[in-house]
Amino acid sequence: MSSLHNTIYLGPGSPSSPPAPRKPPTLIFFITGNPGLIEFYRPFLNQLRNLLPREDAPDSEREFHLYGASLAGFQLGSEHEREPGIKVYGSGNPPFGLGEQIDRVVLQLTDAAKTFCDDHETRAQVILVGHSVGAYILLEIITRWQRMQLDERTQTPLQITGGICLFPTVVDIAQSANGRMMGPLLKLPGHMARDEMREITNDRFTDTLWGTPSQEKDAKAIVDQTTEALSGHRNPSSAPPPPKLFFYFGHNDHWVSNRTRDKLIATRARAPQSTGPEGSRARACEASKPVMEVDGGGIPHGFCLRREHSRVVAEKVARWVREVERGT
């Protein structure tokens, strides 16, 4: 088999001296776009790893572990040629639909988190990063995780603290320039692209995910959680704060129409300037909403194909990872 792999794991490095006490380590779990080949993203993930503090850095309070895998059906080589220890999640044969991909990524994340817990004897702190349709999968995972958090009988091995969506195709993909051209794929049964056109339509995610509560009691809960996160003084008995969300859109993305993007920003994004006095409910509610930015440097949807574009996006992601970490 060649040097190409179906999974990428980048650890924190080996310190030359015993590390100082630090916060629990963080797993950055990357979800690819379509086609789901993780090797396309190796330069990006390597640059992101280099931009995050190393374990032996004087100012490092956390270990960062990066993990990503090809989507189901996109793995390189036959089953017998794949890397030892790589599990096959779910059953059936490709091509897999979008729902099947989501189920398999959930299983993969859960398995990675369990391994992480066993290795570090702590619940996994997870930041999800998704590109293109991987961002849609990311939001679906957070939605499922939030539902599980409401059930006291359910214990999960992970705590999702953030989600970073790169060139996200999360609403109305069929309205994009490429979406209008891909109509014939709707006739192909079991095709992931067909499911993307059919399922990624209107904004179907809950107010809880977007940090815009629809009821008074939900608003109070989000205010309490966000205020605790910002202050650094969290009540151990309180629910975890909602994951911080970040969106990085292309300027003229052929997979996301400008109209769709601008509407989502207008209705869901955090205001550029927080309103209300410090500690107020209005300000805390605003702080719980997603950060949404539009690229101004000509970075294309397929940023991972060129090293210089990967570097720019990696710098953006590293900054947002640090922002998530400041609140945990």
Handedness of CA 296, 297, 298, 299 (dihedral sign): negative
Please give the average per-residue pLDDT across 14-31, as a whole number.
71
- Tokens standing for residue 219: 């608003």
64 vs 61, residue with greater confidence: 64
Rounded distance between C-alpha atoms, residue 135 and residue 33, angstroms: 8
- Tokens standing for residue 151: 């059930």
Rounded distance between C-alpha atoms, residue 326 and residue 241, angstroms: 13
Cα three-residue angle 289-292-296, rounded to 5 degrees: 165
Please report which confidence band the pLDDT of residue 282 belongs to, taking 50, 70 and 90 as the band edges. Answer: low
What pLDDT, on the 0 to 100 scale, is given for residue 123?
83
- Packing angle between helix 98-120 and helix 192-199, nearest 10 degrees? 100
278 vs 311, residue with greater confidence: 311
Rounded distance between C-alpha atoms, residue 290 and residue 211, angstroms: 7
Q: Read off the pLDDT of residues 24-57 as tens digits, 9 standing for 90 and up.
A: 789 999 999 988 899 999 999 999 999 997 655 5
Q: Which of these, 85, 261, 234, lies nearest to 161 by C-alpha position?
A: 234
pLDDT at 297 over 80: yes
Query: Do 109 and 126 touch, CB atoms closer than 8 A?
Result: yes
CATH-assigned architecture of domain 7-326: 3-Layer(aba) Sandwich (3.40)
Please give the average per-residue pLDDT across 187-211, as a whole number.
58
Please give the average per-residue pLDDT across 145-154, as a whole number.
78
Rounded distance between C-alpha atoms, residue 190 and residue 299, angstroms: 31
What pLDDT, on the 0 to 100 scale, is given for residue 70?
94
155 vs 245, residue with greater confidence: 245
**Other beta carbons within 10 Å of 142:** 21
Please report which confidence band the pLDDT of residue 175 belongs to, taking 50, 70 and 90 as the band edges. Answer: low
Rounded distance between C-alpha atoms, residue 270 and residue 245, angstroms: 10
- Tokens standing for residue 84: 């030892």
Q: Read off the pLDDT of residues 233-267 as tens digits, 9 standing for 90 and up.
A: 445 445 567 899 999 999 998 888 888 889 889 98
Rounded distance between C-alpha atoms, residue 92 and residue 113, angstroms: 24
Rounded distance between C-alpha atoms, residue 243 and residue 227, angstroms: 14
Q: How far is CA 160 from CA 8, 89, 242, 245, in A?
A: 20, 21, 8, 11
Rounded distance between C-alpha atoms, residue 51 and residue 71, angstroms: 26
Mean pLDDT of the chain: 77
Q: Which residues 6+ apart lie within 8 Å of 302 measured at CB? A: none
Percentage of the chain modeled with pLDDT above 90: 36
Kindly list the domain boundaries of the chain, sorted by start residue.
7-326
Q: What is the DSSP string of 135-164?
A: HHHHHHHHHHHHHHHT-TT---SEEEEEEE
Query: Do 243 and 160 touch, CB atoms closer than 8 A?
Result: yes
Q: How far is CA 36 from CA 5, 168, 171, 196, in A?
A: 12, 15, 19, 14
Please give the average per-residue pLDDT across 150-178, as a whole number.
78
pLDDT at 200 over 50: yes
